[in-house]
Structure 1
Amino acid sequence: MRAAGRAAPTSDPAADASDLRVIGRVAPHLWPPGDREARARVVAALAFLLLAKFATVATPVAFKYAVDGLNDAAADPRAVLLSLPVWLVLAYGAARLASVGFNQLRDAVFARVGQRALRSLALSTFRHVHALSLRYHLGRKTGGLSRIIERGVKGVDFLLRFLLFSIGPLALELAMVAVIFLVVFDLRYFAVIVLTIGLYVWFTFKVTEWRVKIREKMNAEDTDANQKAVDSLLNFETVKYFGAERREADRYDRAMAGYEAAAVRTATSLAGLNAGQALIITAGLVAVMAMAAQGVLQGRLTVGDFVMVNAYMIQITLPLNFLGTVYREIRQALVDMRAMFGLLDQPPEVRDAPGAAPLRVGAGAVRFEHVDFGYDADR
């Protein structure tokens, strides 16, 4: 099981709308106007994703028929090598291989699009920061500013990899498995699956919101410590002149102490999250397996059905184990991206006039006419 932590509360409509706006600002970089190659790669990646999920869902079905076939052929072991079960076992292996292969093709096809989007966003932010006035830079800490840009770009990278190719595919796979349980078995299996998944997601998200402030505190203390370290090292000579090494070390240690306390609280709260997740998953697994075992004893289900139920439950449990981590990181990425886009929204004080031509400097002289000096009135 994994942790879930930092985010704005999901129940806040304003926060949800803000998250959607942040995601919307990334979309043009993934679907760039006029770039047919990038758009074709996105479409191909989505197609490979769907094929991978279909292969993943088909794998336990092939396993079921292979088990049933082997059970029927057990009376004549000499005929097994030429019987249908052998081909079903091969089909099972082919389905697993196809699932992995399509996922790798998806990653390979999308890699160029994702990296180009990161490059475009990083370049836009870098140019915009240089376009801001000296007044803005005098009021900001260099360490904190660089941290905002670094985290923002990493947040976009994580969002591209996990929101598009983890949460979305996981939801699709869970829906497909639930439908299979409803069609192949009966409403009881469907109800247990839906209830288990619903409780797991609800519990994970609730605990995530409980741990929000801890993660935000960790982030704030990390930024503060990094800011103090960078600013102190940039002013190394001044620190030496005034013999302020101990004072600077104490300031840095106080910032790191706050980070340490928040990190300890995060570790202790993780135990409760893991215990609750394990309890929900185990209860759902035991309930479904008990119903399947009863069906086999009553002759309504085969041993292959029992194996298929177990395979599906394990198959959906594994990605759910990482739901907390993925959710936490996505929320954290959105917070970091919001800070970066806030930086991009800072209006430059000096703007070129519309249609301004590049400055061409030839032979000439330096002249000062009507030169005025201005400074921040608060200083």
Structure 2
Amino acid sequence: MNEETKSGRIFDWAILRRLYSFVKPYQGRFYALVGIIMLAACIAPIQPLLIRYTIDNVIATGDGSRLTVMLIIMIGVLVVQAIVQFSNTYLSGWLGQYVIRDIRVQLYRKILQLRLKFFDNTPIGRLVTRSISDVETLADVFSEGMAAIAGDILQLVLVIAVMFYTDWRLALISLSTIPLMLFSTYVFKEKIKKSFNEVRTAVANLNSFVQEHITGMNIVQIFGSEKIEAEKFRAINDEHRKANIRSILYYSVYYPVADIISAVAVGMVVWYGARQIIQADVSFGTVTAFVMFINLFFRPIRMLADRFNTLQMGIVSTDRIIKLLDSDEFTVNNGTHKPATLRGEVDFENVWFAYNNEDWVLRDISFRVNAGETVAFVGATGAGKSSIINLLSRFYDINKGEIRVDGIPADQYELGHLRRNIGVVLQDVFLFSDTIENNITLGDKRISREKMIEAAKLVGVHDFIERLPGGYDYNVMERGATLSVGQRQLISFVRAMVQDPKIIVLDEATSSVDTETEEMIQDAIGKLMKGRTAIVIAHRLSTIQKANNIIVVDKGRIVEQGNHEELLQHEGFYANLYRMQYKEVV
């Protein structure tokens, strides 16, 4: 069944135990909440009994002094009920917010640890839903979930017991409409459960559509598809509207029906009770108390359907969250090797890699880069060049072979330490909606402002940044929308340089800029590569002619390697590509 529409079981004890594990740090308050809910259930039948006693034993006897005492007692009970209700509402809300805060933090930390393969196969909208909507649903579980259900059931049991103790005949008459009430509640519960699932699915579709199309808004506008996309959105939004209206309809029908059934029970009690009062077989106070008992009895039944649905949605949301928290789609970080410095030697030995099963992207890749050398990769799109650098940083794990850094297998390094020593500059630079400083340091407190400015001056972008409003505190907006492609690229160089990596990876770093900006970037690249091992991927062969070794990759295999002159003399793939770019005629 589709993940967005499955219902889940109400009492899935494995999930409930896992949910309780989130509550455990606050178990004192949780048990206090349970106690308060139980206390509220116990207090509920007291008021009708006080009314009964007052009518039959105080008002009927004309005892004015005791009437004042009873009034004070009833006001005291009301005050206690108000305090209990306040404590219940506040404590359940407090507990829910603290728990969902903890869960959301755990969930986001887990997402940060997931390997890139997981994000390749999982829509962003689904992860947003897990982190926001599903977690938020759990707050209702604490305010209207298991503990509240237990309180309602206890109130039902106590009220029934008190009713039979007071007058078994009136109790039977009061409960005679229960089968009808239970049937209508069951029908409502099933209908509203289906409706909630439809609403949840519609919300997921809305989230996915809006997120995807806002991200790709430039494509929508470039091809003039605004009207078409607006119509698609209208259709999806209509499904959301219809699903919500159906749930509103079920509520609109159920609550009046429940009120009618309750009113019928009251009418039957009043009719029978009046006859018994005339015959002096039942007191007026007892009949009055039973009218109040009926309201105390039917109100929890009306609420139970809603509470069960809330609990059920919470179980489904918890199940999804647990599956994400327990996902094994993360890079294993068992390595402990953390040398003070790296030399920067890189070895690939008979490396095989596939994103899916054995659909090999890389086949038997072997090469060596000595410390301080520059190796360049060229080849057609999809040849496997970017996969090689992704494997070096362990964004993906290899299937066969071995990757070594300074002679040590890459998986023996502590993952964070390994990645901090490999600076990566991508073609598609991603900047967060934040200041330039935070986009450069990424919040790393170890990087001082002085070190950042020094790196910016070295790259040659300090003057440009200082001219911006606010300088390094300038907000670049989402994805760096307020900066040019070249400016974003230069900032990414500063971001790599402040980490002082021993290995630098440049992936198509100049393929999307104009000639003038390319010259600036080439100068920055020269400074960035100085004294470091460099791995460069480039379509423009002019940027890699001085590389110590140029490796030609085709269909996941190394087909040629050597320096620029050697490969030209070889008259192979590289020579053909060189002639195509420079339009040489042989």
Give the TM-score range, shorter chain. Answer: 0.7 to 0.9
Question: Quick check: 1:59–1:95 contact (8 Å CA) kept in 2?
Answer: yes
Determine helix, strand or coil for the equivalent of 1:370. strand
Q: Look up the match of 1:98.
A: 80
Q: Does 1:299 align with 2:255?
A: no
Determine helix, strand or coil for the equivalent of 2:355. coil
Q: How does 1:274-289 map to 2 (within 5 A)?
A: 274-289=255-270
How far 1:169 sits from its partner (Å)?
A: 1.1
Q: Look up the match of 1:252.
A: 233
TM-score by length of 1: 0.82
Change in CA separation of 1:330 and 1:45 when aligned onto 2, cut-off 3 Å: closer
Q: Does 1:369 align with 2:347?
A: yes
Change in CA separation of 1:306 and 1:161 when aligned onto 2, cut-off 3 Å: same
Question: Quick check: 1:178–1:193 contact (8 Å CA) kept in 2?
Answer: no
Question: Partners in 1 of 2:282 and 2:301 — Cα distance?
Answer: 27
How far 1:361 sits from its partner (Å)?
A: 6.2
Question: Quick check: 1:31–1:39 contact (8 Å CA) kept in 2?
Answer: yes
Question: Partners in 2 of 1:299 and 1:250 — Cα distance?
Answer: 72
Change in CA separation of 1:210 and 1:219 when aligned onto 2, cut-off 3 Å: same
How far 1:162 sits from its partner (Å)?
A: 0.9
TM-score by length of 2: 0.55
Change in CA separation of 1:7 and 1:203 when aligned onto 2, cut-off 3 Å: farther
Q: Look up the match of 1:21.
A: 14
Question: Partners in 1 of 2:6 and 2:299 — Cα distance?
Answer: 24
What CA RMSD, in Å, does the superposition of the two structures yield over aligned residues?
2.8
How far 1:60 sits from its partner (Å)?
A: 1.3
Matched residue type, 1:178: I
Structure 1: any 5+ residue segments left out of the alignment?
Answer: 1-5, 9-13, 33-37
Q: Does 1:206 align with 2:214?
A: no
Q: Look up the match of 2:432.
A: none
Determine helix, strand or coil for the equivalent of 1:189. helix
How far 1:259 sits from its partner (Å)?
A: 1.8
Question: Partners in 2 of 1:264 and 1:163 — Cα distance?
Answer: 24
**Which segments of structure 1 move beyond 6 Å, counting only runs of 4 or more?**
none
Determine helix, strand or coil for the equivalent of 2:319. helix
Q: Look up the match of 1:3.
A: none
Q: Look up the match of 2:71.
A: 89
Change in CA separation of 1:273 and 1:45 when aligned onto 2, cut-off 3 Å: closer
How far 1:345 sits from its partner (Å)?
A: 3.3
Matched residue type, 2:153: A
Q: Does 1:345 align with 2:326?
A: yes
Whichever structure has more strand as a proportion of its residues is: 2
Change in CA separation of 1:256 and 1:174 when aligned onto 2, cut-off 3 Å: same
Question: Partners in 1 of 2:249 and 2:91 — Cα distance?
Answer: 40
Matched residue type, 2:292: A
Question: Quick check: 1:7–1:332 contact (8 Å CA) kept in 2?
Answer: no
Which range is displaced more, 144-153 or 328-337?
328-337
Structure 2: any 5+ residue segments left out of the alignment?
Answer: 360-381, 383-586
Question: Quick check: 1:218–1:263 contact (8 Å CA) kept in 2?
Answer: yes
- State the identity %: 15
Change in CA separation of 1:163 and 1:270 when aligned onto 2, cut-off 3 Å: closer
1:148 counterpart (120, 127, 130): 130
How far 1:350 sits from its partner (Å)?
A: 1.9
Q: Deviations over 1:296-332 (max 9, x none)?
A: 2221222211221112222333444434433333323
Question: Partners in 1 of 2:144 and 2:329 — Cα distance?
Answer: 34
Question: Quick check: 1:204–1:324 contact (8 Å CA) kept in 2?
Answer: yes
Task: Specify which structure has the bigger relative contact order, considering alpha-carbon pairs within 8 angstroms and separated by 6 or more residues.
Answer: 1
Q: Does 1:132 align with 2:114?
A: yes
How far 1:275 sits from its partner (Å)?
A: 4.4
Change in CA separation of 1:159 and 1:233 when aligned onto 2, cut-off 3 Å: same
Question: Quick check: 1:133–1:350 contact (8 Å CA) kept in 2?
Answer: yes
Question: Quick check: 2:45–2:162 contact (8 Å CA) kept in 1?
Answer: no
Q: Look up the match of 2:534.
A: none
Q: Look up the match of 1:241.
A: 222
How far 1:373 sits from its partner (Å)?
A: 7.7
Q: How does 1:152-167 map to 2 (within 5 A)?
A: 152-167=134-149
Q: Look up the match of 1:46.
A: 34
Matched residue type, 2:342: G
Determine helix, strand or coil for the equivalent of 1:243. coil
Question: Partners in 2 of 1:301 and 1:204 — Cα distance?
Answer: 32
How far 1:157 sits from its partner (Å)?
A: 0.9
Matched residue type, 2:20: A
Structure of larger gyration radius = 2
How far 1:341 sits from its partner (Å)?
A: 2.3
1:55 counterpart (43, 65, 74): 43
